[in-house]
Structure 1
Amino acid sequence: MFGLASALGGMRRKVWAWPIGIVGNLLLLTVFLGAVFHTPNPVNLLGQAGRQLMFIAVSVYGWFAWRSNRHSDGAAVTPQWASGRQRIGLVVALVGGTLVLTPVFRALESYEPVWADAWIFMGSLLATYGMARGWVEFWLVWIAVDAVGVPLLLSAGYYASAFMYVFYGAFTAVGFIVWWRIDRASSRVVRLGPGT
């Protein structure tokens, strides 16, 4: 519920989305360290657990960034497309980070296939950062994360989490359309001038 509330707040561009998300991340941290916290599922997904810590750190950045940018309409950010250079940076960081983290997660004995865990970690980092920056593409990065994450969670026996990410995948598609329309509308106002 915390994750859904945070995603809804993010779609509506509300600052409160960030602290709500942090609470959800703390709860999920205990889930993905099953062996450490003696949960019903004794499998540790170290990338998923590390992802929660990363979410908390990047969410603090997003929280402060959105608080300082709040608009008169209550929205914290105006959606915009990343530049071509920023998009290339996202792709390079996603692929390169996955390649670098895969052997690290393997050494830490994360669940196989380890590359999927690394992909999810890097994609989550980049999507959260993109949300903080107000880039429309961050929703598409989430879809790429969910496309890999759902099969990984199913194979590890995290069925409830897999179902949650299927739902999030549909939600992120809607979020993408919402932010895309906001960007188009604001671009039109800039092109034509206010009141047209």
Structure 2
Amino acid sequence: MASVRHNRAGSETRATILDCAVGVILDHGIGGLTLQEVARRADIKYGNLTHHYPSRDMLMTAVLDSLEARYLEEFGAFALSIADAPGSPVEYLLGWLLDDAVTRETAGIFLELWASATRDRQVADRVSRLYDQAVDACIRALGASPSADSAQPLREALYLLGTVVEGSSALFSTRTGDAALYRAFRRDALLLVKPLIEQRLAEARAGSA
């Protein structure tokens, strides 16, 4: 029992450390992520933090692991809800992606990751892998097979959607006082991208039938 309690306490400490590390990134950027600041926020001794994550690189790797798992879990849960969504599943998916992209946490984390990816191969590889997995999840959620040859045009269209989503993070996450402009952007993004995704989805389904 003592071992179980020790393992649970260690898991809880690591979770706290990772949450605090994400908070530091949101407030100060990846460049401001230091073990000292994370230990301070987590209200633990520096030696306790380095027991779990002996270096900044190891902490950053753990943060990337945690973010990847968290976003894929959230995306998977959302994908399951598409079947019960009212109206067009494509519109439901696009609306959710656009709205999530402008939240403080998603925009703050992903804009930092993209900026860091231009200088850090590890971050670049992890962000690319996350997007590849997210696109596959989108294809499955829309009722097509990611491995089918006929899904390739749909995949390409979803990467185009990704550039629109990332652009919304950059342009609108800091314009919290200009909701009307974001609503207009969201409307026009749906008008432009939705027909393309629906066409490519129909082709993917027909090709795998």
Larger Rg: 2
Instruction: Compute the TM-score of the two structures, normalised by the length of structure 2.
Output: 0.28
Give the number of the structure whose residues are more often helix, by fraction: 2
